[in-house]
């Protein structure tokens, strides 16, 4: 499967006559000046091209021939004392099947044997290090080429994403079964982690969000220490990682499992916007168009609830939606949770409230994998200044909004593979209110 990835990359450089591609893999990091090791996770581009998930490796690929070299660390017996076995080059050859295996101190010699006209590097630091020996380097093209390759997933990659999604789905359903007031947010995280770890998925694809009450309106909530309270929202944004590939799922529901009339109205607005957006995740549509339509759908719902007022076109023009929905509709998903490729070279962010945080702005194509995650939030830092703003306040029913200023927010997020003319939703966690209430009630 990784040979297919290298072949895709090679096609991006097919006019090159005698160039090399160089990537340095990840290394082990420690907590400040201590011997506390963080769990190793390979740099995503290196993993994409090699399948190697071990520290301190390097690779070269000769562009014209496609020949790839793996450079492995030269370990000594002392390493084995502290870290286990020392593998030979033959061991690594059998495991990763490169065209040639070398020790890392042979890198300069192998580069010299090619007399390359240019060496493509992933970043400025790598280019400077390689360029110290006099080789001409380029640290711009490779990053763009890898983003281009990675944004269209192979069948094998989609299968890894399905496996990650399956575990994330199971973990989210478990949280719906165990949630009750009086629990701490970190207890809910422990329940999620139990499912993930028991299924062999050691790495988190990102730091999850386990937010109750007002914390559910904090977009990157990290505290995870609050007690869940009866009737408040609980928002969990958490996933799983299989062979480096991520699932990223969000669900929001009342801690007691029963939606109030107000919660139900607000929740259905978000769910309707999400379902409409997912229906339109098809080739040819643009991400910013989906974002604007979801914003319009939710603004229409808020208007019908009496939280905002005015003509819908005017509300959209004045960007009132961004006061309640300040983030982007979704992003690419793959070896990174916020995967590469969202902005092709030359495509700029839209300088408009809400849209300027959109993480992907391109025409949708088969093989892309996206999250669709609309949300509505009562964020005091946005709404209070808007109440005092002469123009914006005309569109807000402050008397109806203020009682909910500290109630939090709702986000619903699914993972979607774009197929020919349609899509495949990898997320099957309940999101209809009746399904959520039934699942929570089944364990209480």
Question: What's the structural domain count of the chain?
Answer: 2
Q: Do 135 and 161 fall within a single domain?
A: no
Q: Which domain holds residue 31?
A: 2-150
128 contact partners, CB below 8 Å, separation of at least 6: 137
Q: Do 192 and 140 fall within a single domain?
A: no
What CATH number does the domain containing 206 carry? 3.90.230.10
The alpha carbon of residue 197 and the mean position of all alpha carbons in its chain are separated, in whole angstroms, by 19
Structure tokens at 349: 């962010």
- Token pair 């340095």 is found at 24
What is the 3-state secondary structure of 73-96?
CCCCHHHHHHHCCCCCHHHHHHHH
Q: Choose the final residue of a domain: 150, 177, 198.
A: 150
Ranges of residues in the chain with a pLDDT under 50 are none
Q: Choose the final residue of a domain: 118, 150, 182.
A: 150
Q: Do 174 and 296 fall within a single domain?
A: yes
Asked whether 118 and 16 are in contact (CB, 8 A), the reply is yes
User: Which pairs with CB-CB distance under 8 Å and at least 24 residues apart come from 228-232?
Assistant: 228/179, 228/180, 228/181, 228/182, 228/183, 228/184, 228/185, 228/188, 228/255, 229/181, 229/255, 230/181, 230/255, 230/256, 231/181, 231/255, 231/256, 231/258, 231/260, 232/407, 232/408
Q: Do 68 and 39 fall within a single domain?
A: yes
Q: Do 292 and 167 fall within a single domain?
A: yes
Q: Do 161 and 121 fall within a single domain?
A: no
CB atoms < 10 A from the CB of 405, how many? 16
Q: Do 205 and 232 fall within a single domain?
A: yes
CA distance 229 to 406: 13
Task: Report the pLDDT value the prediction gives residue 354, as an integer from 0 to 100.
Answer: 87
What CATH number does the domain containing 55 carry? 3.40.350.10
Residue 406: which of 257, 229, 207, 274 has the closest Cα?
Answer: 229
Q: Do 47 and 136 fall within a single domain?
A: yes
CA distance 249 to 196: 13
Mean pLDDT, the chain, rounded, equals 95
Task: Report the pLDDT value the prediction gives residue 444, as an integer from 0 to 100.
Answer: 67
Q: Do 116 and 211 fall within a single domain?
A: no
Q: Do 131 and 242 fall within a single domain?
A: no
pLDDT in tens, 256-308: 999 999 999 999 999 999 999 999 999 999 999 999 999 999 999 999 999 99
pLDDT in tens, 407-428: 999 999 999 999 998 899 999 9
Q: Choose the final residue of a domain: 150, 172, 193.
A: 150
Q: Can you say whether the dihedral through the CA atoms of 164, 170, 174, 176 is positive or negative?
A: positive
Q: Do 182 and 137 fall within a single domain?
A: no
Q: Do 365 and 234 fall within a single domain?
A: yes
Q: Which three-class secondary structure state does DSSP give residue 168?
A: helix
């Amino acid at each position: 499967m990784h040979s297919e990835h290298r072949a895709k990359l090679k096609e991006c450089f097919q006019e090159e006559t005698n160039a090399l591609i160089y990537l340095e893999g990840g290394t082990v990091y420690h907590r400040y000046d201590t011997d506390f090791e963080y769990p190793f996770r390979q740099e995503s581009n290196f993993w994409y091209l090699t399948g190697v998930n071990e520290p301190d490796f390097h690779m070269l690929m000769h562009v014209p021939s496609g020949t790839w070299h793996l450079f492995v660390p030269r370990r000594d017996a002392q390493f084995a004392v502290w870290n286990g076995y020392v593998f030979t080059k033959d061991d690594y050859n059998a495991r990763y099947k490169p065209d040639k295996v070398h020790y890392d101190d042979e890198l300069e010699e192998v580069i010299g044997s090619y007399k390359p006209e240019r060496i493509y590097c992933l970043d400025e630091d790598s280019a400077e290090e390689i360029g110290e020996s006099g080789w001409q380097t380029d640290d711009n093209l490779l990053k763009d080429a890898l983003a281009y390759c990675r944004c269209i997933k192979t069948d094998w990659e989609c299968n890894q994403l399905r496996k990650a999604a399956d575990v994330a789905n199971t973990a989210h359903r478990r949280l719906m079964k165990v949630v009750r007031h009086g629990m701490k947010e970190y207890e809910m995280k422990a329940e999620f982690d139990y499912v993930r770890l028991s299924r062999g998925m050691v790495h988190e694809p990102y730091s999850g969000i386990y937010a109750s009450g007002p914390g559910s309106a904090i977009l990157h909530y990290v505290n995870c220490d609050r007690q869940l309270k009866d009737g408040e929202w609980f928002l969990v944004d958490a996933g799983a990682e299989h062979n480096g590939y991520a699932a990223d799922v969000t669900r929001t529901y009342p801690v007691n499992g029963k939606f109030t009339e107000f919660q139900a109205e607000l929740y259905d607005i978000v769910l309707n916007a999400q379902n409409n957006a997912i229906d339109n995740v098809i080739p040819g549509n643009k991400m910013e168009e989906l974002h604007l339509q979801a914003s319009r759908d939710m603004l229409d719902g808020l208007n019908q609830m009496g939280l905002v007022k005015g003509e819908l076109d005017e509300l959209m023009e004045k960007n009132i939606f961004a006061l309640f929905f300040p983030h982007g509709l979704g992003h690419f998903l793959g070896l990174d949770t916020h995967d590469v490729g969202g902005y092709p070279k030359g495509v700029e962010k839209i300088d408009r409230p809400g849209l300027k945080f959109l993480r992907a702005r391109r025409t949708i194509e088969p093989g892309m994998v996206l999250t669709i995650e609309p949300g509505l939030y009562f964020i005091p830092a946005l709404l209070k200044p808007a109440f005092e703003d002469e123009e914006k306040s005309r569109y807000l029913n402050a008397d109806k909004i203020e009682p909910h200023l500290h109630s939090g927010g709702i986000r619903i997020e699914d993972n979607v593979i774009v197929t020919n003319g349609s899509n495949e939703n990898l997320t099957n966690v309940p999101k209809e209110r009746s399904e959520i209430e039934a699942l929570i009630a089944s364990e209480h």
